[in-house]
């Protein structure tokens, strides 16, 4: 009697294992069947695709994409000097470089602070050594901005607008 009790759990385990195995096989069979159906569907619809002319896209004279073939009989004369490759260089006006702002924070003990630009609202770092006056919070100043290692910094800070930048 005790031997039969030991064998019954063994049989249940084997039945569970075989059921899981059958379930996995059924899932694999279903997946293969779906894959084959999709392949047959693609094969059936392959001849319904667009022709090469339907897939072509063209550029018009303004550089816009279009499906209409351009008219090659109309030509426009372009001078070699008018062609610019890349982005044209921006000519900076010295007056544009001078900005106006307010000292929003200044630590007189350490000699640095921040200026808030009136034009774009950006805060720029400023050091006392780049100013020709004593900086303090709330003071309106004129300055130039330069790219520093940690962002933009204010340089050539003064209390009045300089007449000429050198």
Q: CATH number, domain at 107?
A: 2.40.50.140
DSSP 104-133: EEEETTTTEEEEEETTT--EEEEEGGGBSS
In a domain, 87, yes or no: no
69 inside domain: no
- Residue 105 inside a domain? The answer is yes
With respect to residue 151, please indicate whether it lies within any of the assigned structural domains.
yes
Q: What is the pLDDT of residues 39-55, one digit of tens each?
A: 998 888 776 666 777 77
166 pLDDT higher than 50: no
Residue 62 lies in a domain: no
Total of domains in the chain: 2
The whole domain housing 114 covers 94-158
Four-CA torsion 123, 124, 126, 132, nearest 10 degrees = -90
**pLDDT per position as a tens digit, 108-132:** 899 999 999 888 888 999 999 988 8
């Amino acid at each position: 009697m005790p031997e039969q009790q030991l064998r019954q759990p063994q049989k249940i385990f084997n039945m569970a294992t075989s059921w899981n195995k059958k379930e996995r096989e059924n899932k694999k069979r279903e997946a293969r069947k779906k894959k084959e159906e999709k392949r047959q569907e693609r094969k059936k619809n392959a001849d319904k695709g667009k022709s090469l002319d339907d897939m072509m896209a063209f550029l018009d004279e303004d550089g816009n994409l279009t499906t209409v073939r351009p008219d090659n009989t109309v030509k426009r004369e372009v001078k070699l000097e008018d062609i610019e490759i890349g982005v044209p260089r921006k000519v900076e006006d010295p007056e544009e470089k001078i900005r106006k702002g307010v000292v929003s924070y200044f630590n007189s003990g350490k000699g640095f602070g921040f200026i808030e630009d009136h034009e774009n609202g950006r805060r720029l770092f400023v050091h006392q050594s780049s100013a020709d006056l004593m900086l303090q919070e709330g003071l309106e100043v004129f300055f130039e901005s330069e790219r520093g290692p940690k962002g933009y910094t204010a340089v050539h800070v003064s209390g009045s607008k300089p007449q000429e930048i050198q």
